[in-house]
Amino acid sequence: MSLEAQILLEARRLGFAAAGIAAAAPAETIEVFNRWRAAGRAARMDYLSRHAALRADPRRLAPGVRSIIVVAARYPVNSRPGRGFSSYARGRDYHAVLRAKLQELSVFIERHAVLSVSRICVDSAPILEREWAVRAGLGWRGKQGQIVSEQAGCCLVLGELLVDLALRPTPGVPNRCGACRLCLDACPTGALGADGLVDARKCLAYLTIEHDGEFPDELRPLLGAALFGCDLCTAVCPWNRAGDELVMPELAARPMPTAEACLAMTDKEFQERFRDTCILRSGPARLRRNAAAVLANLP
């Protein structure tokens, strides 16, 4: 068995729903990303403007890197999208889970080859994750901006392992969204553009997780019952019919508190309740703000 095949098999053993390999090279979508930011569609996510040179070429992020191993972890499809907490947030913090598993994958590779470069990236690193997922053959970029996999659907979080091995790339796959526009029609705020890019200023996920301060008056009623995230555009994807059995156990959904409970939650209770989730980063003040808006939106 080739080293590439062994790596992908080990990624599956670790619980990833999909994995692939791309050759490290300059990013092909960096200008699209830069135009998206320049148009203001990144809202107040100013951190995306940092380290532009590193984002444009992963070989600057990790000097010596020759291949990028991209993995995707499946989380449950939200059965009640637009209400409560996003499915990916109901399990353990995917940042920590994916980092630990990618570290295991790095150790596995070192048993078969000499590694001088082994850089793990999960979400926060300046790398265009979805471009590399496409180039590694995990799937295609859907009309909602997310990666869609024929085998694993689109309820996915991504991670990368940058190594200095010249590995054979995984073949790409064609875009199979076709004329389907379920995700576009599901968005209540029109945040999904015809160009496949998201306007964060209108996105319920951005507004409930990243946005600081009060909600714009015209969007507050459209939040509906969303406390943290949304999932409306991912839950409707027909490709989610495949992959339920691929949900990573650590990302399995757990019970979450109601809006009333969130509004009454003290800072200490928030820390204790969400200490091992990605909700912790958003902070108690935003969650209470979201809960107040949800309760105001009730009939």
- Residue pLDDT, tens place only, 159-205: 999 999 999 999 999 999 999 999 999 999 999 999 999 999 999 99
Residue 123 annotated in active site? yes
Angstrom distances, CA of residue 15 to CA of 44, 160, 260: 34, 15, 35
Beta-carbon-side half-sphere exposure of residue 196 (alpha carbons within 13 Å): 16
Which residue in the list 123, 164, 212, 244 is annotated as catalytic? 123
For residue 274, give the nearest of 123, 93, 127, 11 by alpha carbon.
93
How far apart are alpha carbons 264 and 95 in whole angstroms?
A: 28
Region 95-103: mean pLDDT is 98
* Ramachandran region, residue 270 (left: φ > 0; alpha: ψ -120 to 50; beta: rest): alpha
- For residue 104, pLDDT beyond 80: yes
Domain extents for the chain? 3-163, 182-233+255-297
Alpha carbon distance 115, 165 (integer Å): 7
pTM: 0.96
In the numeric block, the tokens 């995990």 are attached to: 138
Q: How far apart are CA 256 and CA 295, in angstroms?
A: 16
Q: How much is the average pLDDT of 56-78?
A: 97
Q: Are 164 and 205 in contact (CB under 8 A)?
A: no
Report pLDDT digits (tens) over 4-56: 999 999 999 999 999 999 999 999 999 999 999 999 999 999 999 889 889 99
